[in-house]
């Protein structure tokens, strides 16, 4: 709310006294639900000076300068006359502030009529640097004196943690509501302490629905994680995260599915003030929920994908070992399938811990009596405290049948010895791993007194001799389970460019940090559909600029498919067999399209800007999951078809005609035409293999006989039209009955419910195999026949790491004088567990960004034999992946998860904080891969357990072998 400054008779001393009294009295009685107000704050003198030269000063600092005169006078016990003189003298320096100005804390408001409480805060605001929080009474008093605004009010909530108690919720949860199958979307903001019932109620208000019409799902990661039917549970307790999606699923025929029941109207939370949630339009910037601390947000555009890369964990309370926390199912007796609670931006730590505790050698070691190896006297260690905290956490995670575990005791120890990891800011999982491995090594170092050993020059001795000497010297000072498992050795060769002097050393390493060579293009595959019934769906693969726009993709596909003059391409992203969004903005960046997305390109006649489209959604009957009575329901499948409505549609028969044309290519041929099945077989192989169809995308006549066309035109298709009131109208009867299409929507939704009888007439398998934009995995024959797009593999990154290159000027070699020598690294000795880190985060002057390249990596048989310089090792260097730390999102934000293979089950799992779910081996590969854990492949006598087999059983197995 804006207001002109109010004339006040109070002096600066009186104002400070009043404010100080209010603050002192309010601090002792802060309770949940109280309001605090933000006022902009800058601390540096330069900014304060510069701002005083402008017409919009930094208000809070100006007010402090104003009242400071009176405080100084009182503190010095000056006489009133002297104080008056000082006041006159200082009046030119510190004048009375004008109205309050908080405009620096928010983005520009859409319009003046927008409520000020809904203003969008800048992301990454930090208390004490960008703003201060004032109690409600203080704000009201200042507003009475000065007026201004905008008013930025935030509520006090319970943080859920006994250690932190109450906190001010600076950033509300920002959620994307997706109404299916209509595909409508809306962003809302809501407090994480609101209930699911309140979320359901307000979602119904936004989409003009009733509670019994929808089911509401936790749609984290674009998967139905849990049905949100406990109306009294808070969003915090339901583990709802910032920027995630919530799926609102319309019930068929208005039948409730156990989601949002009508009782939500009576929910106690329904009466809470609506200021904590607001529906809002898409904006280019969003801010992230803070709780105790604010996290950096993720920039988005209206058409950009809300993807898994942008999910952030919000602070939440937890009880160590409590049963049923966050609805995670208690696992069986295998062990190792226990999640870690997110304490507030601790996903980086959870990801790293899960990878380490599932390292077989560590799992066995820390479940035995390792205390005898703790080095209590090592000045470089943590007096054994870090090792004991990690060991205790590992044992909890391997205990069968446990609910998610709180890592708070471990984090407390970690922060004590590594203050950089204190608090609740996001950090790098690789940096944590580096510190943790080194800290565990020092705590468990078997060498109590490290001898001083001076390294000798090679002096022409064989590399094998020098390398063994270096390694023996290293082991003499460093001997622990960490060295046994994770440390290797590389050869470093320096050559002086002037005198040719060569220096060879052999140094240990804990992990390999590999660079990512830059790429400029990407390969994208999508399926091309024809709306006029002239051709079957055909896959098309093109190469485009990596940082290009949608218009570049459209142009490339148009050229590859020989698009006609009167045609136009409409791109759409398909999810769960429905159209998630149209990519109709030519300026949308291709970076918003992920490699595992599914795209469809529709060849349409050129249309006007406000053309209405018909979306044909295919459905078939299937058994409803989680239903004991095996109820059959209609479920979407295949790929939707799209056609523009370029003429008046007045009757149900008009819709039938449009759909019959769209389905014409899939009309099964008569038995008298043996050539058609052969054509269908070839086309099906193309679709399933994802062949590049640059030469086959052009229109192809179907060669239907005239009598076949007449028969097809008389078929009554089982169509259901969704009208403005979300009611399905049966279009298979009453062909001449008039219909009224929605005028407020750019698309009309039509379901076609395929029965077995109808599928005998149409072959819809062409719609089943929608390819991913870029398929990871083995090279197929497509890659050998088309122009090769730039791609990366783990081997490519390793070769870049081992390539000879000159030293940077900051690291020049001292050879008589400082010279820019060339440096060459070679692998010499590889460890049992090889940790590989990809340098995804790039720093260029003041600019930081993340490299999103997909790096193709082997899950089985990583063969490093040819990269090892020591040719006398006598064995192949084969490794198998068993753990992987992933990072989704951008620099300074995003979310970490871990992919872990439970070796006893030969099955992969996704560890996402407290959420654990099975994944396929194909899903392990993604552009989010960040830190790899490879284990040496052993013979038949080797162990194949992460650690769930007890040490005694391991000993018995070893004896038998």
Q: Which two tokens stand for residue 398?
A: 């391997």
Q: Report the DSSP pairing between strands 847-850 and 841-844.
A: antiparallel
Q: Report the DSSP pairing between strands 833-838 and 841-844.
A: unpaired
Q: Count other Cβ atoms within 10 Å, centred on residue 782.
A: 16
Q: Count other Cβ atoms within 10 Å, centred on residue 520.
A: 10
Q: Count other Cβ atoms within 10 Å, centred on residue 716.
A: 13
Q: Which two tokens stand for residue 366?
A: 């820390």
Task: Please identify which of the residues 358, 580, 895, 899 carries the catalytic annotation.
Answer: 895
Please say if 122 is a catalytic residue.
no
Task: For 844-879, give one letter per residue: b (16+ CB within 10 A) or e.
Answer: eeeeeebbbbbbbbbbeebebeeebbbeeeeeebbb
Q: How far apart are CA 203 and CA 183, in angstroms?
A: 14
Residue ranges with strand state E in 380-428:
none
Q: How far apart are CA 410 and CA 393, in angstroms?
A: 7
Q: How far apart are CA 219 and CA 199, in angstroms?
A: 14
Residue position matching structure tokens 């280019």? 284
Question: 785 preceded by cis ω (within 30°)?
Answer: no
Instruction: Mark out the alpha helices in 505-610 (DSSP H runs).
Output: 550-560
What burial class does residue 743 get, using C-beta atoms within 10 Å of its C-beta: 0-12 exposed, 13-18 middle, 19+ buried? exposed
Are 277 and 118 within 8 A, CB to CB?
Answer: no
Q: How far is CA 571 from the centre of its chain?
A: 24
Residue position matching structure tokens 């490699």? 595
Task: For 394-408, give one letter per residue: b (16+ CB within 10 A) or e.
Answer: bebbbeeebbbbbbb
Q: How far apart are CA 595 and CA 591, in angstroms?
A: 9
Q: How far apart are CA 520 and CA 548, in angstroms?
A: 10
Task: Please identify which of the residues 347, 486, 550, 561 carries the catalytic annotation.
Answer: 347
Please say if 427 is a catalytic residue.
no
> 521 Cβ partners below 8 Å, 6+ apart?
543, 544, 545, 546, 789, 790
Residue position matching structure tokens 């060879």? 504
> 217 Cβ partners below 8 Å, 6+ apart?
224, 225, 226, 227, 228, 246, 247, 248, 249, 259
Q: How far apart are CA 248 and CA 181, in angstroms?
A: 9
> 606 Cβ partners below 8 Å, 6+ apart?
566, 567, 568
Q: How far apart are CA 241 and CA 315, in angstroms?
A: 9
Q: How far apart are CA 97 and CA 158, in angstroms?
A: 35
Q: How far apart are CA 168 and CA 158, in angstroms?
A: 9
Are 573 and 726 within 8 A, CB to CB?
Answer: no
SS3 of 295-343: the string is: CCCCCCCCCCCCCHHHCECCCCCCCCCCCCHHHCCCCCCCCCCCCECCC
DSSP result, 86-97 = HHHHHTTTSPPP
DSSP 194: S
Q: Which two tokens stand for residue 350?
A: 């959870």
Are 918 and 908 within 8 A, CB to CB?
Answer: yes
- Give catalytic residue positions: 347, 895
């Amino acid at each position: 709310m804006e207001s002109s400054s109010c004339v006040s008779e109070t002096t600066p001393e009186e104002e400070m006294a009043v404010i100080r009294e209010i603050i002192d009295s309010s601090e002792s009685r802060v309770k949940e639900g109280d309001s605090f107000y933000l006022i902009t704050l800058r601390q540096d003198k330069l900014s304060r000076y510069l701002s005083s030269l402008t017409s919009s000063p930094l208000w809070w600092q100006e007010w402090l300068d104003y009242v400071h005169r009176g405080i100084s006078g009182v503190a010095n016990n000056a006489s009133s006359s002297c104080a008056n003189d000082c006041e006159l003298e200082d009046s030119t320096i510190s004048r009375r502030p004008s109205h309050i100005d908080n405009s620096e804390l928010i983005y520009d408001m859409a319009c003046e009529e927008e409520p000020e409480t809904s203003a969008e805060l800048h992301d990454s605001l930090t208390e004490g640097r960008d703003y201060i929080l004032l109690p409600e009474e203080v704000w009201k008093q200042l507003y009475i004196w000065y007026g201004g605004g905008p008013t930025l009010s935030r509520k006090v909530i319970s943080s859920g943690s006994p250690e932190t108690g109450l906190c001010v919720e600076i950033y509300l949860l920002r959620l994307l509501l997706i109404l299916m199958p209509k595909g409508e979307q809306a962003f809302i903001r809501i407090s994480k302490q609101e209930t699911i019932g309140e979320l359901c109620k307000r979602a119904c208000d936004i989409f003009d629905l009733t509670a019994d019409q929808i089911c509401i799902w936790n749609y984290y990661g674009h998967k139905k994680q849990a049905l949100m039917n406990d109306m009294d549970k808070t969003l915090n307790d339901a583990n709802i995260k910032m920027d995630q999606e919530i799926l609102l699923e319309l019930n068929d025929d208005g039948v409730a599915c156990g989601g949002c029941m009508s009782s939500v109207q009576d929910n106690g939370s329904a009466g809470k003030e609506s200021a904590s949630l607001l529906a809002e339009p898409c904006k280019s910037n969003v801010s992230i929920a803070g709780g105790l601390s604010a996290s950096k947000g993720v920039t988005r555009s209206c058409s950009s994908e809300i993807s898994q890369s942008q999910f952030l964990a919000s602070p939440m309370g937890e009880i160590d070992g409590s049963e049923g926390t966050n609805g995670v199912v208690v696992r069986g007796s295998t062990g190792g399938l226990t999640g870690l609670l997110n304490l507030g931006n601790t996903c980086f730590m959870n990801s790293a811990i899960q990878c380490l505790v599932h390292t077989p050698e560590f799992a066995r070691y820390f479940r035995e009596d390792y205390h005898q190896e703790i080095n209590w006297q090592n000045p470089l260690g943590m007096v054994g405290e870090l090792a004991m905290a990690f060991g205790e956490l590992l044992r909890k995670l391997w205990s069968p049948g446990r609910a998610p575990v709180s890592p708070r005791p471990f984090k407390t120890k970690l922060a004590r010895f590594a203050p950089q990891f204190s608090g609740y800011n996001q950090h790098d999982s690789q940096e944590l791993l580096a510190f943790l491995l080194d800290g565990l090594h020092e705590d468990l170092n078997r060498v109590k007194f490290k001898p001083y050993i001076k390294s000798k020059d090679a002096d022409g001795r064989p590399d094998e001799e020098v390398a063994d000497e270096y390694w023996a010297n290293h082991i003499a000072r460093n001997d622990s389970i960490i060295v046994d498992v994770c440390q290797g050795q590389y050869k470093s060769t320096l050559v002086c460019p002037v005198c040719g002097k060569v220096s060879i050393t052999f140094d240990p390493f804990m992990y390999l940090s590999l660079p990512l060579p830059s790429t400029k293009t990407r390969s994208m595959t999508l399926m091309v559909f024809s709306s006029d019934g002239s051709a079957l769906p055909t896959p098309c693969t093109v190469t485009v600029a990596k940082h290009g726009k949608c218009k570049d993709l459209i142009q490339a596909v148009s050229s590859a498919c020989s698009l006609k003059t009167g045609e136009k391409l409409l791109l759409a992203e398909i999810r769960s067999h429905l159209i998630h969004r149209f990519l109709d903005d030519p300026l949308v960046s291709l970076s918003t399209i992920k490699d595992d997305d599914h795209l469809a390109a529709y060849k349409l006649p050129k249309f006007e800007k406000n053309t209405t489209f018909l979306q044909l959604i295919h459905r078939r009957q299937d058994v409803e999951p989680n239903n004991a009575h095996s109820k059959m329901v209609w479920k979407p499948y295949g790929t939707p078809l799209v056609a523009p409505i370029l003429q008046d549609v007045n009757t149900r028969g008009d819709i039938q005609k449009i759909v019959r044309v769209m389905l014409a290519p899939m009309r099964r041929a008569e038995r008298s035409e043996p050539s058609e099945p052969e054509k269908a077989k070839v086309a099906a192989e193309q679709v399933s293999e994802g062949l590049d169809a640059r030469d086959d995308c052009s229109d192809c006549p179907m060669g239907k006989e005239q009598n076949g066309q007449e028969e097809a035109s008389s078929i009554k298709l089982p169509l259901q039209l969704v009208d403005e009131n979300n009611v399905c109208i049966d279009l298979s009867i009453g062909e001449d009955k008039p219909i009224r299409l929605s005028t407020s929507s750019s698309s009309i939704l039509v379901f076609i419910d395929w029965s077995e009888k109808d599928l005998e007439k149409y072959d819809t398998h062409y719609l089943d195999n929608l390819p991913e934009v870029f398929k990871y995995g083995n090279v197929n024959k497509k890659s050998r026949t088309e122009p090769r797009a730039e791609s990366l593999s783990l081997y490519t990154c390793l070769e870049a790491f081992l390539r000879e290159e000159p030293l940077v000027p900051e690291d020049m070699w001292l050879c008589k004088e400082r010279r820019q020598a060339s440096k060459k690294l070679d692998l010499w000795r590889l460890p049992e567990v090889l940790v590989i880190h990809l340098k995804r985060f790039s720093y260029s002057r003041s600019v930081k960004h993340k490299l999103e390249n997909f790096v193709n990596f082997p899950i089985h048989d990583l063969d490093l034999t040819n990269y090892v310089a020591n040719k006398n090792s006598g064995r192949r260097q084969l490794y198998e992946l068993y753990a992987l730390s992933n990072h989704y999102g951008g620099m300074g934000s995003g979310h970490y998860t871990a992919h872990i293979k439970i070796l006893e089950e030969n099955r992969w799992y996704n560890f996402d904080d407290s959420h654990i779910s099975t994944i396929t081996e194909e899903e392990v590969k993604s552009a989010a891969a960040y830190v790899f854990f490879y284990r040496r492949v052993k013979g038949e006598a080797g162990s194949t357990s992460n650690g769930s087999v007890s040490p005694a059983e391991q000993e018995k197995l070893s004896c038998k072998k």
